[in-house]
Amino acid sequence: MNSPLLDIGYRHWNGTVQNVWVRRAVVARHTMQACLRGRVIRFLVAVTWVLSLVTATAYFAVGQILVPEGLLRPLFELIMDDKARRFVEGISAWLALYPDVTVRLVADLLLLHLNMILQTISFLVVTLIIPRLLTRDLASNAIVVYSSRAISRFDYLFGKLAGVLGVFSLCWLGPAILAWVLGNVVAPDWSFFWHSRSALGYTLATAIPSMVVTALLAMAISALSAKSRIAVAIWLMVWLLTPVFVPIANMTSDWVAYLNFSHVLDRFAIAIFDPYRDFLLARESLPFFNTLFGRLKESTVQSFGYSPLAGPAIGLLIVSFLSLLILFRRTRS
């Protein structure tokens, strides 16, 4: 037996036990630390922040081009032909008349686009962290360590969920919010903050439920097997193989497409951001816009920018329910 470092014998502890929220936070912090271990994960997180900066830059550039005294306007006028110049002048005029609609449209589209890219990167992150969520705890019987302490199965799962949401906050919600804040900070006018408020609201309304459901699904898949490879394989099947249901849905029923989880999230984002609504608003408020896109069929525009909320919302609820069911069944000691 090896020598202890400094054996002072056994002493009683007379401190005060912290409440259950602190213990849940301990589980969450440990989960986050475990998930963020590794260069690839950190690289992916860094990529999301770079994308956030790119989006903010694009927002800045659009703003600077649209306002007459914008920094990029002279450069733009120098390199663009007459047609492009007229287009920009038209939008500038629109901005002068309807700043709220213009800024909102630009911010909505940029953040919708960013949200979808961040979602894909978060799926990549999930692929890497899935064994670290519950799979390894099941394999090493760590679940017994948790269950025998002053935390319930609910506390354990709550802590794990909070940890995964913490990771998603770093690679999904955080970069999206930063893009909005930074884009508005560097915008030509402080009123951009106000006019683009819907984009922030839609981002929160889209990203938070999507993150929660994705986290629950990732945890459930992680709980399905005590072998890391199997858990990762199941996740990849859910992510990469279920898109096959989308073309099948075209031949059968629209509902079949909702068997694809990423399709559910995409449609949910579109239902919340509703680019079609912005398009109609733009067409109503600016004749120039109507001339430009008036020839497009209504159905074409709708298929791109419209989704009913009920389908994806029900899809998310079903995924959440099934995930919780799996989690509570699989995390018994």
Partner 1 sequence: MENPIIETNRLTKRYRDITALDRVDLAVGPGRIGLLGPNGAGKTTLIKCLLQLENISEGSARLLGYEVGQEGREARTRVGYAPEIDCHIPGMAGCEYVTYCAQLSGLPFADARQRAHEMLDFVGMGQERYRQIDTYSTGMRQRVKLAQAIVHDPEILFLDEPTNGLDPKGQGKMLQLIEELGARHGMSVIFSSHLLHEVERVCDQIIIIGKGRVLVHDSLQTLRDQRKGAAELALVDHHDQVLAAFNRQGWPCEQLTNGNIKVEHGSTILNPVLEVLGKIKVTPIEVIPSPNALQEHFIQALRGGTV
- How far apart CA 264 and CA 270 sit, in angstroms, is 10
Q: Which two tokens stand for residue 144?
A: 């017994």
Interface with partner 1, residue 39, by CB under 8 A: no
Q: State the nearest-atom distance from the C-beta of 46 to partner 1, in Å.
A: 22
Stretch that binds partner 1, among 51-59, 135-143, 201-209, 276-284 (CB under 8 A): 135-143
For position 12 contacting partner 1 by CB under 8 A, the verdict is yes
Alpha-carbon distance of 188 to 70, in angstroms, equals 7
Instruction: Verify binding: residue 7, partner 1, rule CB under 8 A.
Output: yes
Binding mask 93-132 for partner 1 (x = CB under 8 A): ----------------------------------------
40 binds partner 1 (CB under 8 A): no
Q: How far apart are CA 211 and CA 171, in angstroms?
A: 10
Residue from the set 39, 148, 251, 310 that interacts with partner 1 by CB under 8 A? 148
- Which range touches partner 1 (CB under 8 A), out of 17-25, 40-48, 98-106, 302-310? 17-25
SS3 per residue for 110-156 = HHHHHHHHHHHHHHHHHHHHHHHHHHHHHHCCHHHHHHCCCCCHHHH
Nearer Cβ to partner 1 (12/83): 12
Stretch that binds partner 1, among 41-49, 148-156, 195-203, 320-328 (CB under 8 A): 148-156
Binding residues among 149-208 for partner 1 as defined by CB under 8 A: 149-152, 155
3-state secondary structure 217-276: HHHHHHHHCCCHHHHHHHHHHHHHHHHHHHHHHHHCCHHHHHHCHHHHHHHHHHHHHCHH
User: Measured from the CB of residue 41, what is the shortest distance to partner 1 in angstroms?
Assistant: 14
For partner 1, the binding residue among 40, 46, 96, 142 (CB under 8 A) is: 142
Q: Rank residues 148 and 299 by Cβ distance to partner 1 and give the closer one.
A: 148
* Residue 203 near residue 195, CB atoms below 8 Å: no
Handedness of CA 27, 328, 127, 112 (dihedral sign): negative
Among 54, 109, 139, 212, binds partner 1 (CB under 8 A): 139
Contact 213, 319 (CB under 8 A): yes
Closer residue to partner 1 in complex, CB, 1/251: 1
Tokens of 7: 């054996």
Helix, strand, coil percent values for the chain (each to nearest 5): 80, 0, 20
Distance, in Å, from the CA atom of 104 to the CA atom of 199, rounded to the nearest integer, reads 7
Question: Is 21 among the residues that bind partner 1 (CB under 8 A)?
Answer: no
Please answer whether residues 114 and 167 qualify as being in contact, where contact means their C-beta atoms are separated by less than 8 angstroms: no
Exactly one of 123, 146, 273, 306 binds partner 1 (CB under 8 A); which one?
A: 146
* Choice between 134 and 319, CB closer to partner 1: 134
The answer to whether residue 78 forms part of the interface with partner 1 (CB under 8 A) is no
Half-sphere exposure of 122 (CA within 13 A, CB side): 31
- By C-beta, is 28 or 176 nearer to partner 1? 28
**Sole binder of partner 1 in the list 108, 137, 266, 278 (CB under 8 A):** 137
Which of the stretches 30-38, 166-174, 193-201, 207-215 binds partner 1 when contact is defined by CB under 8 A? 30-38
- Report the interface residues with partner 1, using CB under 8 A: 1-13, 15, 17-20, 22-23, 26-27, 30, 34, 37, 136-137, 139-142, 144-152, 155, 333
